[in-house]
Amino acid sequence: MTRTDGRNNHQMRPVTITRGINKHAEGSVLIEVGDTKVICTATVEDRLPGWRKIEGGGGWVTAEYGMLPRSTGSRMIRESVRGKPNGRSLEIQRLIGRALRSVTDLAALGEKSITLDCDVIQADGGTRTASITGAFIALVDALQWLIEHKRLDHIPLRDFVAATSVGRVNGEIVLDLNYTEDSQAEVDMNIVMTGNGEFVEIQGTGEEASFSRVEANGMLDLAQQGIKDLIEYQKQVLGQIANNIGR
Amino acid sequence: MTRTDGRNNHQMRPVTITRGINKHAEGSVLIEVGDTKVICTATVEDRLPGWRKIEGGGGWVTAEYGMLPRSTGSRMIRESVRGKPNGRSLEIQRLIGRALRSVTDLAALGEKSITLDCDVIQADGGTRTASITGAFIALVDALQWLIEHKRLDHIPLRDFVAATSVGRVNGEIVLDLNYTEDSQAEVDMNIVMTGNGEFVEIQGTGEEASFSRVEANGMLDLAQQGIKDLIEYQKQVLGQIANNIGR
Amino acid sequence: MTRTDGRNNHQMRPVTITRGINKHAEGSVLIEVGDTKVICTATVEDRLPGWRKIEGGGGWVTAEYGMLPRSTGSRMIRESVRGKPNGRSLEIQRLIGRALRSVTDLAALGEKSITLDCDVIQADGGTRTASITGAFIALVDALQWLIEHKRLDHIPLRDFVAATSVGRVNGEIVLDLNYTEDSQAEVDMNIVMTGNGEFVEIQGTGEEASFSRVEANGMLDLAQQGIKDLIEYQKQVLGQIANNIGR
Amino acid sequence: MTRTDGRNNHQMRPVTITRGINKHAEGSVLIEVGDTKVICTATVEDRLPGWRKIEGGGGWVTAEYGMLPRSTGSRMIRESVRGKPNGRSLEIQRLIGRALRSVTDLAALGEKSITLDCDVIQADGGTRTASITGAFIALVDALQWLIEHKRLDHIPLRDFVAATSVGRVNGEIVLDLNYTEDSQAEVDMNIVMTGNGEFVEIQGTGEEASFSRVEANGMLDLAQQGIKDLIEYQKQVLGQIANNIGR
Amino acid sequence: MTRTDGRNNHQMRPVTITRGINKHAEGSVLIEVGDTKVICTATVEDRLPGWRKIEGGGGWVTAEYGMLPRSTGSRMIRESVRGKPNGRSLEIQRLIGRALRSVTDLAALGEKSITLDCDVIQADGGTRTASITGAFIALVDALQWLIEHKRLDHIPLRDFVAATSVGRVNGEIVLDLNYTEDSQAEVDMNIVMTGNGEFVEIQGTGEEASFSRVEANGMLDLAQQGIKDLIEYQKQVLGQIANNIGR
Amino acid sequence: MTRTDGRNNHQMRPVTITRGINKHAEGSVLIEVGDTKVICTATVEDRLPGWRKIEGGGGWVTAEYGMLPRSTGSRMIRESVRGKPNGRSLEIQRLIGRALRSVTDLAALGEKSITLDCDVIQADGGTRTASITGAFIALVDALQWLIEHKRLDHIPLRDFVAATSVGRVNGEIVLDLNYTEDSQAEVDMNIVMTGNGEFVEIQGTGEEASFSRVEANGMLDLAQQGIKDLIEYQKQVLGQIANNIGR
């Protein structure tokens, strides 16, 4: 069966990452995965959250996620108007933060915090995984900026990290679901992996449905391949700097 | 290696479910998993959320999750005082709701909504999975109440559902983490499964760490066994009524 | 006239206080007054509210009150969802705090604050007075814990304190109203008294009705007797420790 | 002992009620009790709160209470800035509403709601009791306005209502406490009474202190006399209209 | 054409400023412009907002604006109930603050902040401009209070400041619009000017309409004349103190 | 004197408007004015705000304004986290809405509302005026979309509208201030004008300073010229469609 946009089941949408799209931020990218477009900016600050200072352990990397009101098919209420954070957004930004911290040497970062803002300009499925893949590049650029400003002497990242979604749509296992597929999916799985092929997150959910161990394995296989390709692309985008990660 | 509470790695803590602990609610249980204690009440209402009415598809099952301020080692700010919902609570209650809906025939439920309130009285790790396992029984009792009040003619559940946690603690794969283990875990995985052995949710997270495919498989194996036992216990707790589920 | 639950007008419902029901809290009880069930936990902290530090005068004792969503006949909106504290809850927790402070030697307590969380698990009238009666025991246990941990050398309580409700229902003066009576009462009075028979609070309210001086006197007489019995029971529950109060 | 402002213990401060101070409101007064100044406006609306419509029983009378930021000695945070209602304000406005409803024939009012806004312009103790005494006059004027506009044929009030405070200050029982006395009081009691000498509310509170039955009686005696005088003054202020109340 | 209240187009409503109307505030006035009545109080505090302390530059003068719920023809929701500040109020209080700061020598004020609370008791158009004109006098009185308490040696004001509105109503340019005119105006302009005839603010707005350069000039001419008269009146109200401003 | 970015005082920064940048919205543009970048999307909905339906008068055009957290030099708190709208944002979005409505024939629009979301991606001064100039084009495109979908038969706009800022910086009158100039400006004026050269808004503000009538005239002159050029550019961007406006 061909997918609605003509891809085969194992095929990811075209991915583009444009660096340096914000003159103020220490790191910034626009990531496009098909029609999904997310601006990721990294902000370096010389202070830590209170609890982190008490707890110790070095720096902190965190994320915030938002959607512009008309990033979706029908306009959503602006988050500042709702007056309270949205459960889905909170869940996503916690995921992005964990993903980035899983490859960061926080002790080596020192008393700094880096906030990754992931703002969805246009949504077409997979905004959280695109945010992770893009935010990683913005984080690298912010760390590189710290090196250039003599505030770090190496990039405190142990590895690359990227993410994609897999799922079961009409009984078939497919890679990188777009919005139409996502809303029809019986099973939806978001996977975050590092450059050495290990998992950071497996978030698989049956939508009023369940899935077998065999299907779980099929989805993990597909995600592993997709993320391997994404990390290849991240390396290409970073060029020379890529060599300084995981040293 | 023996675990802090003397269990072996494949051993779950003692589980007790007490039914009928609230005279107002249509279904209610106290579930105890080791020192974790959660009150789950089911409330039946003859109205649907606005969006559900528009969307159609029958009834609705949802959950809310909270913790008493002193359910934990140090007192937390009361949620009504924070003035806004807590990201972690929202994430958990969305999980509980999805788990219960995965086995419910919402069309057969008809124009009713059932809300499962899961309130943690005392926390010692695994509150979200205990909530799912306990809320399922409260849901069954509420459905049974509807049958007794002639508002349903059968229990609209396709299967049982229960949940447990697994993780990697000090490099070892263990079942049903208590709080001490949970706070030391390198990997933490919450699994929701149905009576027929299928997955509803796999939520595996590396805590500033990652995990291999082999470890993922080990954790899924362990969870499958644990949940099988939990569902056996649910059947025992429900007695005769258990036979009317999945018919 | 016999009351709906068969009691005579001067009769209180059965009262049970179970101590030590939470392994984390420095003091904790479950108080049951008929079908009203409240969990009271005491949390000791080594810090004072900012204003108290400025004002001086020693330690601080305060309370917070909440109801589980399905503690009542029909489910209430969860307080964290309302996003703002409920007027009734604020009023009640201010009452509980004042009642406990009226018998506490705050200067002798020193730079510590004790928070009594009163969470209603099941409501059937009289939750605020049950909270006071139960929270007093949790407070004693927390103070005893401080003695055992060598942080106090005596219990800084001048006296016992307990509370009950009285009211006029169908023209008759009755003690300890249950929910049905409370919702029909023309007059509702909550009374807090100390062990030496003095009043801490008299909160009498006509519900779209008024009451005479003679009726006021009748209600105060009845409450005095009821609270005397409650304090007898508190002493029995505390056993040996009771002798150390008011020294 | 003479009081700080030279009054004897049984003496109330001068009371002035000025009617018609707001051209928009259906009823409005400025009440001054010593240096305490409260604007009370009555707003008539042809709609009921949702719950009241369902419950039935006729019209509704309610109150809201606020303080201007600099009504007090040191400036308070503006309530709209706090973003949430203040516990004390909620408690007071519930009291004012109950007091007014205790003498109102809500059934005769019909499908209308009347909101009494009590805004404290300058505070010097007793703002809640002044609000009740003043709001009653604003309510009468709004009801009279309804009669003049042919929307009522009589004033649906069964009686007058007014309020004052009494307390124990330095061991002496005094009437109508000003701010200085209130902040030193060991016992503070707010009393609401009707024209026929019955109580609507008795709110007596020991401030880290308790009080005997004899003292309670002394305070009630004093309040009864004070409120009798206040109601005399209300009658004088209303002139001819006073005769139409309680018919 | 005569205006609804009989004024000619160049005529302002009667203005009255009453000083010293609040015993707590360091400066306070009631300003009446026709039926518009605003209480302005000035609060002196010996602390600065955090950002101001960091930024330096001396003291701070700011304003807050509110309306009593029934200051208008139909009752508005109380701001503390809305739970969030109202856009219009925020806009107005920013305007009042800027107007006052434009004539204040903040460096000379030293480490003090003065907050002007402008609370509308009764609204009939022009509440923001009345607030500015009145708040200026309250500010002068608070500064004079600082001199009397030996905390300033001169009034740190460079000039007077006052404000009025002009507009185009039914095609005619008019001064000082009342509520009826304001709601029919095609163009509405608020002007703030200093004693030396310079502008501090020009806020001209077409209401679903636009206006020509010639009309703009006509409105500015009219406002200049009106504000000149207002400042004359301010001088008269302040008497001797007026001579100490702008020295 | 040359300006920091080399422009002369009468020179505007380069302006670019890119249409159709969002696949979901009925109209969308990216407007760039120097380094200021704003995404403007227009959302058409077939429902009106409640008050508008009651009031009548046809359709409604409104705006919302937001800034991404890192659109500025230092990261701002995300608006959804602040939990309440920001005074400045509310003020700006009211301005944008009024500007667009001033040229819209709301009656001809019929029972539709159009919301213009203006989200600042990168800020360098003049975000509110860029929002107006860009939102006008997004509005035209949404109206054109309605024509193409046979829901309108002509563009219900009476004229073009655009906006720019002028100000006094170091004593000189300059056009189109960038952020550096804006933060040093003694006077800041935002002007909105229509295609026929009339004003919709004049918002001139002295920043702890005042300005003369002569300076006001100089700023208005400069703004008139700048806006004339902007409207020329708008026409060029719209091409053929421009001819259908104001018919």
Residue B208 confidence class, pLDDT cut points 50, 70, 90? confident
Q: Residues, chain E, total?
A: 247
Pick out chain A residues at pLDDT < 50: none
pLDDT value at position F79? 79
Was E19 annotated as part of a binding site?
A: no
Q: Among partner residues F90, F198, F206, which is closest to E210 by beta-carbon distance?
A: F198
C84 pLDDT band, cuts 50/70/90, is low
**Average pLDDT taken over every residue of chain F:** 95
What pLDDT score does A84 carry?
65
Closest E-chain CA to D72: E24
| Cβ-proximal residues to A216 (8 Å cutoff; 6+ apart), any chain | A204, B199, B202, B220
- Reply yes or no on whether the pLDDT at D105 is more than 70: yes
DSSP-derived 3-state class of residue A33:
strand
> Which residue in A194, A128, A137 sits closest to A160, CA to CA?
A194
Interface test with E, best of D78, D79, D141, D179 (most E CBs within 10 A): D78
Residue C71 to residues A210, B116, C215: CA-CA distances in angstroms?
33, 13, 32
pLDDT in tens, B41-74: 999 999 998 888 888 889 999 999 999 999 999 9
- The pTM score is 0.88
Predicted local distance difference test score (pLDDT) of residue C148: 97
* Residue F49 exposure: Cα atoms within 13 Å on the Cβ side: 9
Q: Which of E18, E123, E118 is nearest to E61 (CA)?
A: E118
Quote the tokens at residue A119: 């703002």
Structural tokens at position D87: 């516990």
Judged against a pLDDT cut of 80, whether residue C80 lies above it is answered with: no
Kind and range of the H or E run holding C28: strand C27-33
Calculate how close chain B gets to A219, using CA atoms only, in Å. 12
Residue F204: band (very low, low, confident or very high) from pLDDT cuts 50, 70, 90: very high
The values of phi and psi at residue E195, to 5°, are -60, -25
**What contacts B40, CB < 8 A, 6 or more positions away?**
B28, B29, B30, B31, B116, B117, B118, B119, B131, B134, B135, B137, B138
Strand ranges, E, within F34-186: 36-45, 60-67, 113-122, 161-169, 172-175
Q: In this predicted model, what pLDDT tens digit does every residue of F144-184 receive, in sequence order?
A: 999 999 999 999 999 999 999 999 999 999 999 999 999 99
User: Which one, of A120, A78, A112, lies nearest residue A96 by Cα?
Assistant: A120
Measured between CA atoms, how close is C198 to chain D, in angstroms? 5
Arithmetic mean of pLDDT, F210-234: 97
**Residue B2, pLDDT above cutoff 90:** no
- B116-134: pLDDT as tens digits: 999 999 999 999 999 999 9
Question: What was the pLDDT predicted at D85?
Answer: 66
Q: Between chains, do F121 and A41 touch, taking CB under 8 Å as contact?
A: no
Closest CA to E184 of E217, E207, E165: E207
pLDDT over 80 (residue C62): yes
Lowest mean pLDDT among A55-64, B28-37, C139-148: A55-64
Q: Which of D64, D65, D70 to mutate to test the interface with E (most CBs of E within 10 A)?
A: D70
pLDDT score recorded for residue F60: 97
pLDDT digits (tens, 9 = 90+) for D159-175: 999 999 999 999 999 99
Per-residue pLDDT reduced to its tens digit, E169-208? 999 999 999 999 999 999 999 999 999 999 999 999 998 8
Give SS3 for A72.
coil
Q: How far apart are CA A28 and CA A39, in angstroms?
A: 7
Return the SS3 of C45.
strand
Do D67 and D38 touch, CB atoms closer than 8 A? no
Residue D41 has pLDDT above 70, yes or no: yes
Tokens, residue A118: 């992931």
**With an 8 Å Cβ cutoff, are E78 and D66 in contact?**
yes
> Mutate which of D82, D199, D215, D221 to disrupt the C interface (most C C-beta within 10 Å)?
D199
Q: Which pLDDT score is estimated for D207?
A: 84
Q: What residues of chain B lie within 8 A of the CB of A200, using their CB?
A: 205-206, 210
* Angle made by CA atoms A32, A33, A36, in degrees to the nearest 5: 75
- Treating both helix axes as pointing N-terminal to C-terminal, what angle do B213-238 and A213-238 enclose, rounded to 10 degrees? 140
Can you read off the two tokens belonging to residue E83?
A: 């739970």
Taking the CA of residue C73 and the nearest CA in chain B, the distance in Å comes to 5
Residues from chain C contacting residue B68 (CB–CB below 8 Å): 39, 41, 66, 117, 119
Which value, to the nearest 10 degrees, does the dihedral of the CA atoms of residues F121, F95, E227, E187 take?
A: 150
- How does residue E2 score in pLDDT terms, banded at 50, 70 and 90? confident
State the smallest CA–CA distance between residue B191 and chain A in angstroms: 10
Q: What is the pLDDT of residue D56?
A: 85
- Does domain C15-244 fall under CATH 3.30.230.70? My reply is yes
The Cα of C24 is separated from the nearest Cα of chain B by a number of Å equal to 5
**A126 is annotated as contributing to ligand binding:** yes
Examine the pLDDT at B11 and tell me if it is beyond 70: yes
Residue C1 pLDDT level (bands cut at 50, 70, 90): low
Distance CA F62, CA F95 (A): 10
Among chain F residues, CA nearest to E224: F213
Model pLDDT, residue F1: 59
Residue of B nearest to A60 (CA): B208
Interchain pair C85, B86: CB under 8 A: no
Q: Name beta bridge partners: E183.
A: none
Alpha carbon of D35: minimum distance to chain C alpha carbons (Å): 26
Q: Do B202 and A207 touch (CB under 8 A)?
A: no
Partner residue facing E122 (CB), from D22, D82, D115: D22
Q: Do E89 and D80 touch (CB under 8 A)?
A: yes
Is the pLDDT at E126 greater than 80? The verdict is: yes
Q: What is the pLDDT of residues C103-136, one digit of tens each?
A: 999 999 999 999 999 999 999 999 999 999 999 9
Q: Which of F128, F168, F188, F208 is the mutation pick for testing E, counting most E CBs within 10 A?
A: F208
Confidence (pLDDT) at A21: 97
- 3-class secondary-structure state, position A113: strand
* Percentage of chain C lying above the pLDDT 70 cut: 98
Count the helix, strand and coil residues of chain D and give each as a percent rounded to the nearest 5: 35, 30, 35
Q: Closest CB to B212: pick one of A87, A198, A212.
A: A198
CB pairs under 8 A between A and B: 101
Q: Note whether E51 and E133 are within 8 A (CB).
A: no
* Residue B1 pLDDT: 59
| F213 assigned binding-site residue | no
- Is the separation of the CB atoms in B235 and B162 below 8 Å? no
* Centroid of chain to Cα A129: 4
Numbered residues of chain A with Cβ closer than 8 Å to any chain B Cβ: 84-85, 87, 90-91, 94, 98, 101-102, 106, 159, 189, 193-194, 196-213, 216, 220, 224
Q: Look at F24 and A121 and tell me if their CB atoms are within 8 Å.
A: no
Q: Which two tokens stand for residue D126?
A: 């007793």
In this complex, the residue of C90, C98, C207 whose CB is nearest that of residue D90 is C90
Q: For the segment D106-165, what is each residue's pLDDT rounded down to a tens digit?
A: 999 999 999 999 999 999 999 999 999 999 999 999 999 999 999 999 999 999 999 999
pLDDT value, residue C2: 75
What does the alpha-carbon distance between residue F83 and residue D81 come to, in Å, rounded to a whole number? 12
Q: How far apart are CA F115 and CA E83, in angstroms?
A: 24
Q: Are D194 and D160 in contact (CB under 8 A)?
A: yes
Q: How far apart are CA D11 and CA F144, in angstroms?
A: 77
Sort out which chain F residues have CB atoms less than 8 A from E160's CB and list them.
Answer: none
Question: Which residues, at least 6 apart from E154, have a Cβ–Cβ distance to it below 8 Å?
Answer: E108, E147, E244, E247
Least Cα distance to A59 among A111, A136, A114, A102 occurs for A111
Q: Give yes or no for residue B247 having a pLDDT over 80.
A: no
- pLDDT tens readout for residues C200-235: 999 999 988 999 999 999 999 999 999 999 999 999
Distance from the A43 Cα atom to the nearest Cα atom in chain F, whole angstroms: 7
ipTM over 0.90: yes
Q: Helices B87-101 and A87-101: crossing angle, nearest 10°? A: 110
Which chain A residues are closer than 8 Å to F85 by Cβ?
Answer: 80-81
**Region E114-140: what's the mean pLDDT?**
98
pLDDT of B177 reads: 97
Question: Which residues in chain F have their CB less than 8 angstroms from residue A85's CB?
Answer: 80-81
User: How far C114 CA lies from chain B's nearest CA (Å)?
Assistant: 11
User: What phi-psi label fits residue D45: left (phi over 0), alpha (psi between -120 and 50 degrees) or beta?
Assistant: beta
- Reading the block at residue C33, the tokens are 């007054």
Model confidence band, residue D186 (pLDDT cutoffs 50, 70, 90):
very high
E-chain residues near D78 (CB < 8 A): 64, 66, 79, 117
∠ Cα E137 E142 E144 (to 5°): 95
pLDDT number for residue E84? 65
Whether E201 contacts E99, CB under 8 Å: yes
DSSP chain B: ---TTS--TT-PPPEEEEE---SSSSEEEEEEETTEEEEEEEEEES---HHHHHH-SS-EEEEEEEE-TTSSSSPPPPHHHH-S--HHHHHHHHHHHHHHHTTB-HHHH-S-EEEEEEEEEE-SS-HHHHHHHHHHHHHHHHHHHHHHTTS-SS--BSS-EEEEEEEEETTEEEES--HHHHHH-SEEEEEEEETTS-EEEEEEEESSS-B-HHHHHHHHHHHHHHHHHHHHHHHHHHGGGGGGTT-
Contact A43 F70 (CB under 8 A): yes
Q: Any bridge partners for residue C18, and if so which?
A: C30
Contact in structure between A134 and A114 (CB atoms under 8 Å):
no
pLDDT at D247 over 90: no
Secondary structure, 3-state, B17-43? EEECCCCCCCEEEEEEECCEEEEEEEE
User: Quick one: which of E80, E43, E77, E47 has its CA closest to E63?
Assistant: E43
Stretch among A152-161, B103-112, F53-62 having the lowest mean pLDDT: F53-62
